[in-house]
Every structure is written in structure tokens, then in C-alpha cells.
Structure 1
């Protein structure tokens, strides 16, 4: 079930019994219907928690994760003291771009998920662009 943003807001305002988890799921499905990753242009999916940030490059046609990088990786722990800063997100973006260029992935589709393109999400995208990825 793919719903537009306007429909989601109407549902949220009309139906007070709509649980937050259900609303998040509807929002995620609406966004996921628009963004698809192929082998030529895989999807860069971002997950942000309060403590860390995770990024994956995914081929949706084969349902395979091609690359993954996060602030919990041992190689990244040397450079960052805290995983919840914009500097850490930028480093993750640059590291992911470096790994993807080794696998000959240059063009991607950016999937920010349910998060706004601001702060740590934007820093990760800027780091990936600085590393050589094209969105």
C-alpha cells in the first residue's frame, strides 16, 4: 500500500487511533515505492540511531547488500571518539565512497529513509559526494 504524503497526514490527523509504529510503516512504504536501486545504480540506505549511524549500498533487483559501513566498525573507531557527530557521519560517507569506488560503483540513488535531509544525514551525503560518488 503506497500512500502520498498528503494522505499520510490526513490519516494521522483523522484517525487518532493510528499507532506511531503503523504511521512510520506507512511512511516508509510510501517512500520505498519511489526509490529503487539497480545493479547499475544501487541504493545508499541510511539508518541513524541516537548513538551511531549506519549506511549500506543495496542492489534491490537481486536483494543483495553490496557494501556496508558504520561508526561501529573497528577501522572507524580509530578516527572518531563519538558516533553521534556530523564529523563522524562525514567520515562514514567518505569511507563508503572509497569502498564503493574499489568495487566500480560510481552512481547511486540516495535513500534517506524517514529522516530529514539535515544534520548527520546531510553530512554523510556530503562526505559520499566528496569521496567521488554521484547522486
Structure 2
């Protein structure tokens, strides 16, 4: 399936490995995705059929709080919003699905902000 040995195929390979493990755990997941301009986060039910909470830098509320939507500060704001929305819906214990992205930079900042505002993982 992944023949090329480049950044994208490596990330997708890591994502598959992570998701396979999380499906076996049957846990509620915090799924993130990042592009060069935006950060996206979703809380997904164990069966992957229901999205419990969503936050991204595309939202007016978040994009007005930050100057640029593709940096660590914006990732922290997304982490804060996703955590507050999840706790409001009664979800506090989750598993972190980083979608194959390395746990560094914006991904780390989002995770730390989510933990700070009430999510446990």
C-alpha cells in the first residue's frame, strides 16, 4: 500500500499503526489533523460513527483570537476549545490519535492545552 518512502507515506503508516491500536482499545479518541495553515481537532466515539466535539482554526471564534492560524499559539487555542467542549458534553477520558504526525511542535502544544483544560490522556 505504501511503496514510496517519503514524509507522507511514513506519516500514513504511523497513522495506521496508531489507529489499529486505538480500535482495539475501543476508546473515545481525540483526532487531530494539521496543515500548514490550520489545525483541526475532533472527539470521536469508539465506533467512529459519532463526532462528540469539534474545534478548528477555521472557526471565527478561534481565528479572531490569534494572529496566524498555523502556529503553536493557534494550536493551543484549538486544544483549549476542544477540551472545554468535550468536558461540557461529559467526556474527559480520551485516547490521543495524532494521525501519524510526530508528537512535536503544534501537536504537542495542542495536547498540552487539552490536558490543561480538563482532558485526561
Report the TM-score range of the alignment, normalised by the length of the smaller protein.
0.7 to 0.9
Normalised to the residue count of structure 1, the TM-score between the two structures is 0.78
1:89 aligns with 2:100: no
Match of 1:35, SS state, is: helix
Greater relative CO (CA pairs within 8 A, separation 6+): 2
Structure with higher Rg: it is 1
Unaligned stretches of 5+ residues in structure 1: 2-11, 13-17
Change (3 A) 1:71 1:28: same
The CA RMSD measured in Å over matched residues stands at 2.1
Unaligned stretches of 5+ residues in structure 2: none
Match of 2:88 in 1: 102
Change (3 A) 1:65 1:94: same
- Pick one of 40, 62, 65 that aligns with 1:54: 40
Q: Aligned runs of 1:4-83 on 2, under 5 Å?
A: 18-19=3-4, 25-36=12-23, 38=26, 41-61=27-47, 63-83=49-69
Normalised to the residue count of structure 2, the TM-score between the two structures is 0.86
Change (3 A) 1:30 1:95: same
Number of residue equivalences: 118
